[in-house]
Amino acid sequence: MIKGEKVTLKPLAEEDLPVLWEMIYGEEDPEWKRWDAPYYPLKPREKDEYVISMKILLEEGLDTRWAIWAGERLIGSVSCYWEHKPSNWLEAGIVIYDPAFWNGGYGTEAFKLWISHLFEYYPIHRIGYTTWSGNERMMKVGEKLGMKMEARIRKCRLHNGIYFDSIKMGILKEEWEALHH
């Protein structure tokens, strides 16, 4: 568990899974999906199948997603994945599913805690994430945390008939430590 002022990050627990499913798949067109890679369709999953498959990942220690809590309320998740494990290239992600917790600093604090944890836990020299130019809030989170725009792939994300850029943000471990320790 990692505790901040506004949020607490915890590894997912079995009892979190039905709540997480509801936040991700409970609505036909959830607001969060309009900002989190909306050019990829959200494929519906049955609740029981989701809970069972996630439970297996948790039991095997393979799930790389933690829950974001604001008080007693599950509001989102942070995650990581290997872009290329042999070179220790790790990418991170965050979603605040509950719009009531947008624009209040919850996501920035959660991502800061998560990145610090990942730098401490893994033998990595850099961490980054990918977003799109339509998600200005996510770009601002990276800027607030001292991340640099490392790449802008122009007009490669088509959403609602408009082309957007893919944005890659990143920070080196020594830069992170200089800014946050």
Q: What is the CATH number of the domain that holds 22?
A: 3.40.630.30
Q: Which domain holds residue 48?
A: 2-180
Q: Residue length, the chain?
A: 181
Residue of 166, 169, 57 lying closest to 111 (CA atoms) = 169
Q: In a 3-state reduction of DSSP, which class is residue 43?
A: coil
Residue of 173, 65, 62 lying closest to 119 (CA atoms) = 173
Q: What does each of the 181 residues of the chain score in pLDDT, given as a tens digit?
A: 999 999 999 999 999 999 999 999 999 899 999 999 999 999 999 999 999 999 888 888 766 889 999 999 999 999 999 999 999 999 999 999 999 999 999 999 999 999 999 999 999 999 999 999 999 999 999 999 999 999 999 999 999 999 999 999 999 999 999 999 7
Q: In what order do the strands lie in the sheet with 2-3?
A: 2-3, 8-11, 65-70, 73-84, 89-96, 126-132, 162-172, 148-159
Residue of 155, 35, 160, 56 lying closest to 107 (CA atoms) = 35
pLDDT recorded at residue 145? 97
- The two tokens of residue 56 are 């297996």
